[in-house]
Amino acid sequence: MTDRTPTADSDADPAVRRLDDWDAAELRSLADEYDTPAYVIDLDRIRQNYRRIAAAFDAAFDDPTVMFAVKAHSGRAVMEALLDEGAPMECAAAGEVFRALRAGADPDEIQYTGVNPPDDDLDYVVGVWEDAPEMTLNVGAEDSVERLAERGFDGRLCLRVNPGIAAGHHEKVKTGAHPKFGIPYDAVPDVVERVRAEYEMDVVGLHAHAGSGMLDEDMDAHAEYVGKMGDLAREVGDLDFLDIGGGFGVPYRDDEDPLDIDAVAERTREALGELDATLKLEPGRYLLADAGCLLATVNTIKDTPETTVVGIDASMTTLIRPAMYGAYHGIRNLTNPDAPVEPLTVGGPVCESSDTFCRDRPLPRPERGDTVAIGHTGAYGYAMASQFHSQPRPVEIALEGGEARVARRRETFDDLVRLEE
């Protein structure tokens, strides 16, 4: 563990941290010490983000539960920081349950949300539940209820609802109207009635999720689906909680405004109405996105008739969001920020035309060996990294209390073949 100056003023809590707010000298120092590509995750910033959203919903609701959607980042250091803040873990796969338990989560406070859950997943989570009877299992099909009953489950059950309303930054993450997710809205009352009559399970909650990365323009859809879920919860009755999912976005572009999370919480309360059940929500991206950045080194400069190509040592295997979603991530030259600006195409070493982080974006022209930072990579960054193209996954550096440490070591070539041996 290395002593360092904190990345940001620990007394400040801006609604969003922009890429330019990171300390360039510190990031260059981290790149020199730990090599690149390297993920940097600021645990103090994650704590700030959690406290802000928890305070906003505490002010609007009576005793809400703000969980952490583990799929955004399943690293132990991140989960430990959020567990320390009191956040229960919302897990969308058995492996996430396993990792949450390893990080110290109380199994009674874990919520498992299975989407077309494989048999092995159900076997594992029911096994955990047998020793933790307050654990809540959340499923989105009546078929999954039957499969749980076959395994002897008779505990706390939540049903995922498809509200027919979707929102989010990309079609691939708009879940609220996709048939894959949840029981059709109009069918839910009958399903609840059958489950209560035919199975020895306690239906304690309903759940829905509109999508991921919602900003101001999505708040009308958010309010509409929250209102529908409030109506449904009142119709079903006798619930402990209503889980409205997460999906609160952060601005990846400098010209986008951050959510006023206090206003979002108040509008959620107004849309929901009076309800004899507590509120749950499960942010992921909101807590993590601006707490992370990705460091990379320039290795190639190639002028072509169409564009200038800048090759870096990070790739779509390191950060897949630009290739998968066309997502925008800010890019900052940490070594030569005042170099002449020109349209640049920045890409990695993978033999795919999709392995680009931007195309013809005006940026300071780098030189070979320059360090660059890619912003807003804390959520769905390392979590979606892969070994495609036999690329070892990068090191992850955690910042906390003015110190840096390795949260996950860099993979080696030996790691690529370890399971084959």
In a 13 Å sphere around the CA of 255, the CA atoms on its Cβ side amount to: 1
Sign of CA dihedral 112, 117, 121, 122: positive
Asked if residues 289 and 248 have their Cβ atoms less than 8 Å apart, the reply is no
* Cis-peptide, bond into residue 37, ω within 30° of zero: yes
Examine the residue annotation and report whether 351 is marked as an active-site residue of this protein: yes
Q: Is 285 annotated as a binding residue?
A: yes
Q: Is 198 annotated as a binding residue?
A: no
In a 13 Å sphere around the CA of 184, the CA atoms on its Cβ side amount to: 4
- For tokens 């630009």, the residue is 322
Q: Is 102 annotated as a binding residue?
A: no
In a 13 Å sphere around the CA of 280, the CA atoms on its Cβ side amount to: 28
Q: Is 283 annotated as a binding residue?
A: yes
Q: Is 325 annotated as a binding residue?
A: yes
Q: Is 86 annotated as a binding residue?
A: no
- Vertex 369 angle, CA 367 and 373, to 5°: 90
Phi, psi of 60 (to 5 degrees): -100, -25
Q: Is 134 annotated as a binding residue?
A: no
> Please, what is the angle between helix 261-272 and helix 219-236, to 10°?
40
**Choice among 91, 158, 293, 351 that is catalytic:** 351
Count Cβ atoms within 10 A of the Cβ of residue 137 and give its class: 0-12 exposed, 13-18 middle, 19 or more buried. Answer: buried
- What is the set of active-site residues? 351
Binding residue positions: 247, 282-285, 321, 325, 352, 380
Binding residue positions for substrate: 285, 321, 325, 352, 380
Binding residue positions for pyridoxal 5'-phosphate: 247, 282-285, 380
